[in-house]
Amino acid sequence: MLPWIRTAILVSCLPATVSISARAGHLALNGMGIDLDDKTGALIALSHPHLGEILKEDPARAGLIGLDCPGGVFDPRSAPAMIVQNDQTTTISWRFSRAATSKGDVETEVAIRPSSDGKSVILSCRVANRSDQPVARVQFPDFRGLRPFGGRDEMELRFALGVVNPFAGPVRPAGRAPYYPPFVWRSFPPEPIYQMNTLRWLDLGTLAGGVSVFQRKWIEEPRPAILTRRSEADADDLRMVWQHDQAIAPGASWESGEFWLTPHAGGWAKGIEPYRHYVSEVNPPRSVPRRIREGLGFQSLWMTAFAYWELPRIARDAKAHGIDELNLWVWCEYGNLPMKTRPGCGTEAELLAAIRQCRADGVNTTLFVNLLSLNDALAPRYGMRPGNAANWNFDAGRAPGAKASPLSGPSGQFNISYDNKLWRDDVGRDLRRWAEAGAGSFCWDVFQDTDMDFIEAVRGFRATIQAADPEATFAGEPAYGNIERATQVLDYTWNWVDYLEASPYINALGLPRLNCNIESDPRVVKMAFAENLYLNLMPKIPDEHNGTRMVSQEPALAAALLEVAPLRRKFLPYFTDGVALGECVLAKPACRYVRENLSGEIGGALFRAPKFEFPSVFVRSYQLGNKLLIIVLNNGEQSREIELTCDLSLWLPAGRPWRVHHLDLAGGIIRTETLPRGANGQTSTLRTRSLEPVELGLLEVEQ
């Protein structure tokens, strides 16, 4: 159990946007109604004209901030509060003393003010620890009593890389008596790719409307985890907490930064707009190789199944299916620095000659490198302890090697610390050597961007590589750390992930491009294409490693690629310059689709496939100026026309006719219909042509 300790809430207002009713404790702030307990100041209700009741809680349970302090639990509601209203900001502050267990006070100040965008509310918090004991952590914001203001099954808690339906189903599993504590809280820890909570943004709502929340911090660590708890006594009562696991030492202070709450009509793509604007301010666009920005995907090869001289043949096969990037696994004997080619695959000269020929045929070759785990013989050079690395056993006939086993034995390797200067110098020298020889594209295994110092080192690596090859790729596996740092230097990811619901990530950040691992399923090819993911093709021989076959050896995979590759080229500006809207072009779901209310893991333990069920109707959309592209996939088992209910006025100017072009699989216009002059909030019904199972349908809407 977590020791929650509640303080209170503060509200500030701009005269132009705020009205205060006669009833004590009720304020209207940028259209949001806020009700406070008149004795404690705790948040007991949130509402919005479009959404209705967002939050409602009993005063005895309400609150917005908690402090975990060792040496005792106190309730700040019992302490006197100082309320100060200063121009646009009102603050409520408390001073707490634990005289029985410590000396000094803990001062807490919470503030809310309206954003100048006219629709968002900004919350912030500051804690000053004047005591002689640490404050263990802060929970802020702490929203208690969130309600399903849409239908229970339709309510979504959406993160950058995934979504759950937090009010769907029973609170505890029916017919079972599981141990209680693990079912109390659902945890969504922050991680770059292997967790849903990838960006400092989330949305709670439906396609009809919701509330987006984001933290206005960039690169700073640590990032908060998101915790949710659903009440057994009232299944429509949800608590959602941002937990900052950062101790505040005696004499130190902590600030939350701004949390922006944005109520919105329509789906999450409307609520994310302030966050996308913020990201554009703090993370200016950077150039990436054109083939990465525009490309459909890449193919990973397990090189123990091939020789270097075969690469041009494989590259031509990939190119014929719309793929212009190869990524070579186990191309070398990992653990060495300088890196050495694998004798069973050929010589270094043969590898370099093959890479040159692939490039001449229009396909780039990227070398997958592991510079984290090095052979024990190198430990003295870098002042490291030998033998501390896990044994990653790549022999398919032996036991898995994530940990040493009776069949795999000790690893004989150590993990280097990425801040080792001598190692960085050696790495930079070796990457430059390969780049000057004609192989300048690399994919970094276990990209642990633990601080900006390492990112600056990678910038240096890239600068020396690009001097030899301006179009060189630098990809990686951001397994730990912060995607806000990884976006500074990585072009695309190589992570062990299948299809991801990644439209919010693509909407707000976009780089590095996210991979989607595919063996052969044409549905995944088409969904990943529609999602604007970077396809990672890994066709395999049965009972062998991923990436041991060519694309043409998997007919269903090859056919799906030949279908989507021309479509990407045809509609490329939507994917490269448009705004990803996910399914938010819809005003109501195209099919019933409920995700389990589980923790925020995408795959759980590494290499464990995520639990994902294909929706029977899959819709993705993009906005490019005054045009929309709508992609529909029939994931059902029968051919059918699919009906879409859309509120086009959210994305295109109302009051003018909308032309809807129904397109064939070559992007040609089959027919055009004109919809009446739309009004704000008015829905329109679009119907696709008859689609076979696993067939795509495309519509383009313009004015």
pLDDT tens digit sequence for 95-153: 777 766 778 888 888 898 899 999 999 999 999 999 888 988 999 999 999 999 998 89
Lowest mean pLDDT among 84-93, 168-177, 390-399: 390-399
| 55-59, 426-430, 677-681: range with lowest mean pLDDT | 677-681
The DSSP code for 496 is: S
CATH code for position 535: 3.20.20.80
User: What is the Cα–Cα distance from 38 to 20, expressed in whole angstroms?
Assistant: 14
Q: CATH number of the domain that 685 lies in?
A: 2.60.40.1180
Domain final residue pick, 570, 591, 607? 570
Q: How far apart are CA 533 and CA 197, in angstroms?
A: 18
608 pLDDT tier (thresholds 50, 70, 90): very low
Instruction: Answer for the pair 421, 428: CB distance below 8 angstroms, yes or no.
Output: no
Closest CA to 285 of 444, 509, 590: 509
Task: State the burial class of residue 30 (Cβ atoms within 10 Å of its Cβ: 0-12, 13-18, 19+).
Answer: buried
Q: Domain range spanning residue 420?
A: 290-372+416-570
pLDDT bracket for residue 614 (50, 70, 90): confident
Q: Give residue 387's pLDDT band: very low, low, confident or very high (50, 70, 90).
A: confident
120: tokens are 């968002």
Q: Where are the beta strands (DSSP E) in 120-252?
A: 121-129, 137-146, 156-159, 162-164, 186-188, 201-206, 209-216, 225-230, 238-244
Bridge partners of 272?
none
Instruction: Select from 190, 285, 215, 300 the least CA-distant residue to 547.
Output: 300
Q: Supply φ then ψ for residue 436, to 5 degrees.
A: -65, -25
Q: Which residues contact 144 (CB under 8 A, 6 or more apart)?
A: 43, 55, 57, 61, 62, 63, 237, 239
Cβ neighbors of 506 (< 8 A, separation 6 or more) are: 514, 531, 532, 580
Q: Is residue 461 part of a domain?
A: yes
CA Rg value for the chain: 27
Q: Mean pLDDT score of the chain, rounded to an integer?
A: 87
The residue among 537, 570, 603 that closes a domain is 570
Peptide bond just before 512 cis, omega within 30 deg:
yes
CA 589 to chain CA centroid, Å, is 22
CB 511 within 8 A of CB 281: no
Neighbours of 659 (CB within 10 A): 14
Domain boundary among 256, 282, 308: 282
Within a domain: 617: yes
**What pLDDT does 77 receive?**
57
Token pair for 519: 């063996």
Query: Both 443 and 343 in a single domain?
Result: yes
**Residue 409 falls within a domain, yes or no?**
no
The pLDDT confidence band at residue 59, using thresholds 50, 70 and 90, is confident
Q: 182 and 171 in contact (C-beta within 8 Å)?
A: no
Of 297, 336, 314, the C-alpha closest to 564 is 297
Q: How many domains does the chain have?
A: 3
**Does residue 139 sit in the same domain as residue 211?**
yes
Give, for 483, the enclosing helix (H) or strand (E): helix 483-486
In this structure, the number of other CB atoms found within 10 A of the CB of residue 624 comes to 17
φ/ψ of 233, rounded to 5, equals: -70, -30
Q: Looking at the structure, do residues 268 and 321 belong to the same domain, yes or no?
A: no
Q: What's 87's domain CATH number?
A: 2.70.98.10
Chain CA centroid to CA 90, Å = 34
Number of other CB atoms surrounding residue 25 within 10 Å: 17
DSSP 372: S
How far, CA to CA in Å, does 181 sit from each of 238, 411, 597? 17, 37, 16
Q: Give the per-residue pLDDT at 606.
A: 43
| SS3 (DSSP) at 513 | strand
For residue 677, give both structure tokens: 């002059």
Is residue 396 included in any domain, yes or no? no
**Is 0.75 surpassed by the pTM of this model?**
yes
Is 476 found in the same domain as 538? Answer: yes
Alpha-carbon gap, residue 287 to 294, rounded angstroms:
12
In a domain, 50, yes or no: yes
393-415 as b/e, with b when 16 or more CB fall inside 10 Å? Answer: beeeeeeebeebeeebeebebbb
Is residue 411 very low, low, confident or very high in pLDDT (cuts 50, 70, 90)?
confident
Task: Give the CB-side neighbour count of residue 689, counting CA atoms within 13 A.
Answer: 17
Q: What three-state secondary structure class fits 135?
A: strand
Least confident piece of the model among 73-87, 120-134, 195-209: 73-87
What pLDDT is recorded for position 62? 84
- C-alpha atoms less than 13 angstroms from C-alpha of 106 in its C-beta half-sphere: 33
**Is residue 485 one of the residues assigned to a domain?**
yes
pLDDT for 434 beyond 90: yes
Query: Do 657 and 536 sit in the same domain of this protein?
Result: no
Per-residue model confidence (pLDDT) at position 78: 53
- The mean-pLDDT minimum among 38-42, 232-236, 338-342 falls in 38-42
Q: Are residues 344 and 261 in the same domain?
A: no
Average the pLDDT over 631-658 and give the result: 92
User: Cα 80 to chain center, whole Å?
Assistant: 41
630 shares its domain with 561: no
